[in-house]
Structure 1
Amino acid sequence: MQGATGFNPARDIPSLTGKVVLVTGGTAGLGAASVQALAPHNPTHIYFTGRNVSAADSLISEIKGKHPSAALSFIELDLSSLRSVKEGLANGFKHDRLDILMNNAGIIAKPAILSKDGYEIQFATNHLGHAMLTKELLPYLLAAAETPGADVRVVSNTSDGYAFHRMIKGAISFSELGSTMSRTMLGPWIRYGQSKLANILFASELARRYPNITSVSVHPGVVNTPMNTEMKGFNKAFVDFTTWLARIPKWEPDQGVLSQLWCAAGAKQGELRNGGFYRPVGVDQWETLTKEAKDEKLAKELWEWTEGALSKF
């Protein structure tokens, strides 16, 4: 349960010389905060993905204004489209290794709609898009893991909202993933919870299948990023009320990003528990997860279902 009390990215992240980094959702919120925090530590290259080209250009200009030698590339892709992910990486990723992958991007409490590929939109974006991205980058992660002194990490953002899986029979409704999964009550949150459970299960299964890659999931807390601040109506009121009721603080991005930065680069080699689940700041709380989130059989089933979905593209 020991955490990273007092972690300061500027002070406590070591030199990243020689390391290649990729951050999804890097044009705003926690993704942009991650890129900004990692750039001063001299990584060989930082890639970041997203859909907003102008925001990406602004971020690169801002960072280069402070750190002229920083090497950054934006990869335009849409995580809700598996073909977009695959083609974006094929065209945009130019290195032969990848040392740090931050699966940061996500959407929350969206209406009952389908992705371009015919999957429930939150599951498609939060889980399937990142699964495709991880699969495509796996050869580069494994190449980095084979080098002397390697310390390769995959950090996947999740949420305490994963617990809404309790309202789904079996925790993940595999038979409904090709539908909008409409629900009369709390539908957007049930669908969101299922996708966030998938993030936890995928991260732990990745750790089991590839133990030479350190894979963890992170709940960053409730953070004032566009993902939360742009919510409206019932969903906004629901978040405000439940977080107030639980006395959960709302953080700004420079605070909310701390756990994922610590897991990605701040923790010393061997300090992370492979497959762990971290809450702010850097506290491994795997044992607090529901039994479904720790279920190796369910994780294996999700992995195999996901492989089948990805194999179509």
Structure 2
Amino acid sequence: MPNLEQFVNFDPEKDIPNLDGKVIFITGGTSGLGRVSVTSLAKHNPAHIYFTGRNHQAAEKLIHEVQIEKPSVRLTFVKMDMTSLSSVKTACKEFIHDRLDVLMCNAGVMFIPAGVSSDGFELHFAINHLAHAMIIQELLPLMKKTASLPGSDVRVLCLTSTAWMSHPKNGITFSTLRTPQKGFMGSSFRYGQSKLANIIYAAELARQCANTNIKFISVHPGAVNTHLTMSIPWHLRLLTTIVLWFLGVTFMEEAQGRLSQLWAAAGCTKDELVNGGFYMPVGRLSNDRLDKTALSPELALELWVYTQNILSKF
């Protein structure tokens, strides 16, 4: 049966205010929840939406679709290889605006075969965490500048998952991150580790940038039928479906699955957001659902230092 907590009184068409003048950056915008976030936010007249992806054809189709309905909204496709930190850093230079109001770190992979990125890091960790950390680092000075403006409302959303609970015992196995991290239930551990990283990195960003006016949060959209979930191996999808059934949850369609990140991006006031908080669908601060590992400031700081050391090499 569906989890009724996921369906709250939030209607993005009615409850998102006019976004006139705002500039938005969404990773993974050519498909799934990223694509529907682009189309949903475009309806509210932002000045510009940047979105990343790998598929030029899908990007052109999305731009055409938005401009038919909202010709005043400008869009820019940023092609990005998230398995290469140098590629990510170079792609960020395509952002040419003098402000950035919302950064939605939406792109990700799930349960992909074991492997390492072109930089030599486990693939889930490289794409889901390190690539987004590079984007945040490159765009953070501009977001700080925007946050200093009168009436500013700057937000960074890190999309995560309740799969964070399948993280390895020690949370993040730093010693083997430069390997494919193969092993029994390896794909679950690898994915869970990266989703845990999304949660604790957002929390640490909130601490590191406490003197700014930027809100950093992590958001779980719920179990959603997207290309990402439909493309995982059948046995893992079956296992996921069984686990969700025991939890009283079924897969949602994108129309419902988009709600959490849209609410966090623009559907609430910035004062409603707890900096560093973890949110479940829709708009529910859920830090009480996190275990001691996910709440550990020591682990979060260790991840921060590890990540900064990696990024400094590119």
Letter in 1 for 2:171: A
In the superposition, relative to structure 1, how do residues 69 and 29 fare at CA in structure 2: closer, same or farther (>3 Å)? Answer: same
State the 1:245 CA deviation.
2.3
State the 1:111 CA deviation.
1.2
State the 1:110 CA deviation.
1.2
1:44-63 Cα offsets, whole Å, 9 max, x none, are 11000011110000000011
Letter in 2 for 1:177: L
Partner of 1:26: 29
Is residue 154–residue 214 contact of structure 2 (8 Å, CA) maintained in 1? Answer: yes
State the 1:4 CA deviation.
8.6
Unaligned stretches of 5+ residues in structure 1: none
TM-score normalised to structure 1 length: 0.96
- Alpha-carbon distance in structure 2 between the residues aligned to 1:161 and 1:280: 15
User: Does residue 86 of structure 1 match 2:89?
Assistant: yes
Partner of 2:135: 133
Q: List structure 1 runs of 4+ shifted beyond 3 angstroms.
A: none
User: Does residue 62 of structure 1 match 2:61?
Assistant: no
Partner of 1:282: 283
Letter in 2 for 1:210: C
- Alpha-carbon distance in structure 2 between the residues aligned to 1:189 and 1:128: 18
1:5-44 map, 5 Å:
5-44=8-47
Partner of 1:215: 216
Unaligned stretches of 5+ residues in structure 2: none
Letter in 1 for 2:254: P
Pairs aligned (count): 308
State the 1:81 CA deviation.
1.1
1:102-121 map, 5 Å:
102-121=104-123
- Alpha-carbon distance in structure 2 between the residues aligned to 1:294 and 1:133: 24
- Alpha-carbon distance in structure 1 between the residues aligned to 2:270 and 2:126: 32
Is residue 241–residue 250 contact of structure 2 (8 Å, CA) maintained in 1? Answer: no
Q: Percent identity?
A: 49
Partner of 2:164: 162
* RMSD (Å) for aligned C-alpha atoms: 1.3
Partner of 1:255: 256
Letter in 2 for 1:196: K
Partner of 1:177: 177
State the 1:5 CA deviation.
2.7
SS for the counterpart of 1:270 is helix
Greater mean deviation of Cα atoms: 236-245 or 261-270: 236-245
- Alpha-carbon distance in structure 2 between the residues aligned to 1:44 and 1:143: 17
Partner of 1:271: 272
- Alpha-carbon distance in structure 2 between the residues aligned to 1:67 and 1:148: 27
The correspondence for 2:77, drawn from 52, 69, 74, is 74
- Alpha-carbon distance in structure 1 between the residues aligned to 2:83 and 2:201: 17
Is residue 45–residue 70 contact of structure 2 (8 Å, CA) maintained in 1? Answer: no
TM-score normalised to structure 2 length: 0.96
SS for the counterpart of 1:170 is coil
- Alpha-carbon distance in structure 2 between the residues aligned to 1:287 and 1:247: 19
SS for the counterpart of 1:94 is coil
